[in-house]
Amino acid sequence: MDSRITVTEVRVRGFHLDGYGHVNHARYLEFLEEGRWAYVDAHPEFADGLARGVALVAVNLNIDYRRAAVMNDDLKVETCLIRVGGRSGVVGHRITHIGSGELVAAATLTFVLLDQRSGQVVPMEGEWAERLGPLVVDAPEGK
C-alpha cells in the first residue's frame, strides 16, 4: 500500500452502538479521528509542524454512510491527504469491513492549520506546501 495512506483498525464494541444495534452515526467521527491521528503519527512532515504550536482544525466534514456496522465488526480506516490549497486542505477517509471488504463509509474532511498563539490561519504555502505537497494522493475510491 502507498505509504502516504495510513490504515487503522477498529473493532466495533457495544458502546459504539445505538438502539438499533448498529454503529451510531456520531461514533464514525471518532473512527475518522483515530485515522487522522494515526496519519499524523506516521508522517513527521505533519507531526513536526503540529508540535510547533500549529493545530489542525476541522472546518467541514462530509460522510457518506454505505453499510451498517454492527457489534464485533472489524473495520479498516484508510486515511490520506487528497488536496492542499492556499488556506485549507482535505483529508479523505474510507472505512471498510475487513471480512467482506465492503465500503461502510467514505468521508472528506476540510481543515485549516491554526497558529495556536495568534489564533490566525496559517497559509499552506512555502514550508507547509513543501511539507504537505508530496503527501497528496488521488481521492480514494468511493469518495
For the segment 87-120, what is each residue's pLDDT rounded down to a tens digit? 999 999 999 999 999 999 999 999 999 999 999 9
In sequence order, the 6+-apart residues with CB closer than 8 A to the CB of 44 are none
Assigned C-alpha cell, 134 = 508530496
State the pLDDT at residue 21. 92
User: What is the C-alpha separation between 98 and 29, in angstroms, rounded?
Assistant: 19
The 10s digit of each residue's pLDDT in 131-142 is 899 999 987 665
State the pLDDT at residue 46. 82
How does 11-27 read in b/e, with b if 16+ C-beta sit within 10 Å?
Answer: ebeeebbeeeebbeeeb
State CA 63 to chain mean position distance.
11
Given 2, 18, 48, 74, which residue is catalytic?
A: 18
Q: Is 18 a catalytic residue?
A: yes
